Amino acid sequence: MQLTKEAKKELFKKHGGSETNTGSAEGQIALFTKRIEHLTEHLKSNKKDHATESSLLDLVGKRKQLLNYLKNNDIARYRAIISELGLRK
């Protein structure tokens, strides 16, 4: 699944502050979360797709690193993104 340009712009506008702020931690976490949700749905119907499973684990690790960065540097932003995305932490 490729997110369309418009969907990405909307995602970054909502979580990153503006459409062009694609490097913000919140925007990246939101993008990773969308991709993780899609890959999880894919793996429910394709249980033996090990390449996708490894990609999913990579994305989860990247998201976790960004969340740890936010937690250590700005706890308010961390709590905000956790509540916005509904992540369990």
List per-residue pLDDT tens for the chain, 89 residues long.
Answer: 678 999 999 999 999 888 888 889 999 999 999 999 999 999 999 999 999 999 999 999 999 999 999 999 999 999 999 999 999 75
The residue extents of the domains of the chain are 5-85
Query: What is residue 85's predicted lDDT score, i.e. its pLDDT?
Result: 94
Q: CA angle 13-18-23, nearest 5°?
A: 95
Query: What is residue 46's predicted lDDT score, i.e. its pLDDT?
Result: 95
CATH architecture of the domain 5-85 equals Orthogonal Bundle (1.10)
pTM: 0.90
Q: Is residue 42 within 8 Å of residue 34, measured between CB atoms?
A: no
